[in-house]
Chains A and B, each alone.
Chain A
Amino acid sequence: MATLAVALTGNPNTGKSTIFNELTGARQKIGNWPGVTVDKKVGYTRYKDRAISIVDLPGTYSVNARSPEEKIVIDYLMNNKLDLVMDVVDSSNIERNLFLTVQLLEQGIPLLIDLNMQDDAERRGIRIDVKKLEEAIGMPVVETVGRSSKSTRKLLDVFTDTVMSQYHVSAQVQEHIDRVQAIRAKDIPDSSKEEALIEARYELIDKIMAQAVNTEHVSQSVSEKLDRYLANGFLALPIFLAILYAVFQITFTWIGQPIADVLDDVINTDFVAFMTDFLTDAGVADWLVSLVCDGIIAGVGAVLTFVPLIFVLFFCLSFLDGTGYMARIAFIMDPIMRRCGLTGKGVMPLMMGFGCGVPAIMGARALDSEKDRMVSILVTPFLTCGAKLPIMALFAAMFFPDQAANVVFAMYIAGVVMAIVAAKCLGATVFRDKGSTFLLELPPYRLPDMKTVLLETWDKGKGYLVKAGTIIFAASVLLWVMSNYNFSGPCEIEDSILAMLGSWMSQLFVFHGFATWEAGAALLSGIMAKETVVATMGILYGAADVSTEAEDAIETAGAFMNTGMATSFTALSALAFMVFSQLYTPCVTALGTIKKEAGGWKWVAFSAVYMFVTAWLISLLVYQIGRLLGF
């Protein structure tokens, strides 16, 4: 039996991706804001011995082929042989959602209409008569509530039992289609045609609403009440900052850091001691014991120590995303973004940048204008991605132990401010063009699905673990070799290749307070991957301590690093180092993505150079102003 081909379409935020995930068992990211699904996704499932392929198309409000999402949807629907196209409708916003439904019917696409989020609609007092809706449109209608196994089974039953060729649009819809064709054939300006088409569509929607939907008892939703404070008025921005601050307290003070401290002890003290004894007793050569313990375990371990922080932070961000609050952030930030020549929509890819710059750069595709897209691509790497977090956490814990969460929070804010300033500068110089309009739908607040939140947290954290096992592992081996050898053979660390490269690099930071070869080497390695900065410091300071201070062996690796680093940095120079690490040249993967997305090496070079220069200048200012103020 041939595979049943199904496509999911609908407005943004109607729960298509949730349905897709439930049907296929995939873990596609669920976004509570428009533009999360910027490309189609394909998944497969089997039901009643029938293979079913399901395509999740990007959410759109229309199919005029103006935006990339609209082009993807209309091209896919018109050019593929599909057994069934399911139009996912948010029942609590049915009137607006029917606008897309009507347009799809105008294109001659038979639809299975899924009235999703029925629970939300009922809570708001919206009553939809399914039978009457079927009669009014002429297409089959099914009711679902998104995350429910009952709904999933019901949909699979409908997919396998429905034969779309049996359905034909109702007389009033056919009449509307004829009217639309007549309008299109008229010899009038395009803008007038567009107005006439919109008017005709809403006339039909009004008829359908009158026939099948009862909205007499609609009350103001909880979301609307909450948004009076969370998305509007003078309290919105302070509440946003308070929520962000709470996330950082949870991550760095209450939950993440205590777990990280325990892990630090286990990996960098107990495990290192165990491996050293085990390998030595087994007769492994000293240099190889050093490579494994001082190189690989010190480097990879230094990065692994931060896994609890990463998981807790990503859990909090995924949870906020699931509640619908992320869309409010875009709304709240819109006035600020507009001053930079962008729109609130530009905040969304930037928010992704707190996880990883690579998808954030790719996510800029969802922006409407070329200017917005390019500016977003070029400023995203200023944000504190998950890979920079260990650098911030390490330095904050060491040099500002009582204020660690506040300092890391300040670095996040500094990244955002720098991104906004850079956007303003780039918008006024390199990309002088008209900005785009900002149309944002605020989804209803929901209690997040914990399964989805945990899966997203795991996916993000898993990427970090894979990096620790691959690029950090490889970098640790190379760094150990470079820190133990020079061109003449084995040597002291001070005479090594790494010390030579680090010394060269450190000359740039004479006025920044951290002109040591260790800092230079760590920053140089950070261009490979930002986590490598911490891994390098783990190797450099850890290795030095192991060879000179025997009693340090019983201390944690954090203490190894503390001992060496405490002499290299003051609190002020540590702050300058953090600022530089926060802002300087993106990692090679991000640079590769910039090349792909911006379309050329010149943007890679531009990004690498302007970010390095910016970081150098801001870090210099922090250090010199701090000195003038007597710190």
Chain B
Amino acid sequence: MATFLVGALVAAAFFFAVRHVYRNFRDGKEDCCGNCSGCHGCSAKR
């Protein structure tokens, strides 16, 4: 049971991490690094 729970947790975290990386690559954006005005990566969120 513990293996199943921890495994599910790791699998879910892995899925979301890969999805985040894929979306960044697809949209050509970088995680915010503070240089907002030189970067159009997250302008849609603002």
User: Contact residues of A with B, CB < 8 Å?
Assistant: 17, 26-29, 31, 36-39, 41-43, 279, 282-285, 288, 291-292, 296, 314, 318, 349, 352, 355-356, 358-360, 362-363, 365-366, 386, 456-457, 459-460, 462-464, 466-467, 469-471, 473-474, 477, 588-589, 592-593, 595-596
User: Contact residues of B with A, CB < 8 Å?
Assistant: 1-3, 6-7, 10, 13-14, 16-18, 20-21, 24-25, 28, 30-41, 43, 46
How distant is the Cα of A355 from the Cα of B39 in the complex, in angstroms?
A: 13
Given contacts A474-B17, A592-B28, contact A29 B36 (CB under 8 A): yes
Given contacts A29-B37, A355-B33, A359-B33, contact A593 B10 (CB under 8 A): no
Lowest 7 CB-CB distances: which A-B pairs, in order? Answer: A359-B35, A459-B34, A363-B38, A460-B34, A358-B30, A463-B33, A359-B38
B-side interface mostly: helix
Query: Could you list some 26 contacts between A and B, CB below 8 A?
Result: A28-B36, A29-B37, A29-B38, A38-B38, A41-B43, A42-B46, A284-B3, A285-B3, A292-B10, A314-B34, A349-B38, A352-B38, A355-B34, A359-B35, A359-B38, A359-B39, A363-B38, A366-B38, A460-B33, A462-B32, A466-B31, A470-B16, A471-B21, A474-B17, A474-B18, A589-B30
- Chain A residue at minimum C-beta to C-beta distance from B3: A285
Question: Contact at A282–B32, with CB atoms within 8 Å?
Answer: no
User: Which among A31, A43, A477 is the interface contact of B37 at CB below 8 angstroms?
Assistant: A31
Given contacts A279-B6, A356-B30, A466-B31, contact A473 B37 (CB under 8 A): no
Question: Contact at B17–A37, with CB atoms within 8 Å?
Answer: no
How distant is the Cα of A578 from the Cα of B17 in the complex, in angstroms?
A: 28
A-side interface mostly: helix
Residues of A within 8 A of B40 (CB): 39, 362
- Chain B residue at minimum C-beta to C-beta distance from A529: B21
- Chain A residue at minimum C-beta to C-beta distance from B35: A359
User: Which among B13, B30, B37 is the interface contact of A38 at CB below 8 angstroms?
Assistant: B37
Interface centre among B17, B21, B30 (most CB of A within 10 A): B30
With both chains docked as a complex, state the minimum distance between the C-beta of B6 and any C-beta of chain A, in angstroms.
5
Residues of B within 8 A of A26 (CB): 46
How distant is the Cα of A363 from the Cα of B33 in the complex, in angstroms?
A: 13
Question: Contact at B32–A463, with CB atoms within 8 Å?
Answer: yes
How distant is the Cα of A457 from the Cα of B40 in the complex, in angstroms?
A: 19
Interchain pairs with CB closer than 8 A, number: 122
Question: Contact at A363–B35, with CB atoms within 8 Å?
Answer: yes
Question: Contact at B17–A292, with CB atoms within 8 Å?
Answer: no
How distant is the Cα of A358 from the Cα of B42 in the complex, in angstroms?
A: 13
Residues of A within 8 A of B1 (CB): 283
With both chains docked as a complex, state the minimum distance between the C-beta of A19 and any C-beta of chain B, in angstroms.
14
Residues of B within 8 A of A42 (CB): 46
Given contacts A466-B32, A474-B18, contact A36 B6 (CB under 8 A): no
Residues of A within 8 A of B10 (CB): 288, 291-292, 296, 477
How distant is the Cα of A462 from the Cα of B35 in the complex, in angstroms?
A: 12
Question: Contact at A459–B28, with CB atoms within 8 Å?
Answer: no
How distant is the Cα of A456 from the Cα of B33 in the complex, in angstroms?
A: 9
Given contacts A42-B46, A473-B17, A477-B14, contact A360 B28 (CB under 8 A): no
Question: Contact at B46–A41, with CB atoms within 8 Å?
Answer: yes
Beyond known contacts A26-B46, A462-B34: 11 more, CB 8 A cutoff: A29-B36, A39-B37, A291-B10, A296-B10, A355-B34, A459-B33, A460-B34, A463-B31, A464-B33, A470-B20, A589-B25
Residues of B within 8 A of A462 (CB): 32, 34
Residues of B within 8 A of A31 (CB): 37
How distant is the Cα of A501 from the Cα of B21 in the complex, in angstroms?
A: 23
Residues of B within 8 A of A366 (CB): 38
With both chains docked as a complex, state the minimum distance between the C-beta of A550 and any C-beta of chain B, in angstroms.
24
With both chains docked as a complex, state the minimum distance between the C-beta of A476 and any C-beta of chain B, in angstroms.
9
- Chain B residue at minimum C-beta to C-beta distance from A467: B31
User: Which among B6, B13, B37 is the interface contact of A28 at CB below 8 angstroms?
Assistant: B37
Residues of B within 8 A of A291 (CB): 10
How distant is the Cα of A31 from the Cα of B20 in the complex, in angstroms?
A: 29
Residues of B within 8 A of A296 (CB): 10
How distant is the Cα of A464 from the Cα of B7 in the complex, in angstroms?
A: 26
Residues of B within 8 A of A39 (CB): 37, 40, 43
How distant is the Cα of A435 from the Cα of B3 in the complex, in angstroms?
A: 63
Question: Contact at B2–A282, with CB atoms within 8 Å?
Answer: yes
With both chains docked as a complex, state the minimum distance between the C-beta of A473 and any C-beta of chain B, in angstroms.
5
Given contacts A279-B6, A288-B7, A589-B30, contact A469 B17 (CB under 8 A): yes
Residues of B within 8 A of A279 (CB): 2, 6
How distant is the Cα of A383 from the Cα of B32 in the complex, in angstroms?
A: 19
User: Which among A292, A355, A469, A596 is the interface contact of B35 at CB below 8 angstroms?
Assistant: A355
With both chains docked as a complex, state the minimum distance between the C-beta of A68 and any C-beta of chain B, in angstroms.
13
- Chain B residue at minimum C-beta to C-beta distance from A528: B21
Question: Contact at A358–B33, with CB atoms within 8 Å?
Answer: yes
How distant is the Cα of A596 from the Cα of B25 in the complex, in angstroms?
A: 12
User: Which among B6, B28, B46 is the interface contact of A593 at CB below 8 angstroms?
Assistant: B28
- Chain B residue at minimum C-beta to C-beta distance from A349: B38
Residues of A within 8 A of B3 (CB): 283-285, 288
How distant is the Cα of A321 from the Cα of B11 in the complex, in angstroms?
A: 42
Question: Contact at A284–B6, with CB atoms within 8 Å?
Answer: yes
How distant is the Cα of A381 from the Cα of B23 in the complex, in angstroms?
A: 22
Residues of A within 8 A of B18 (CB): 474
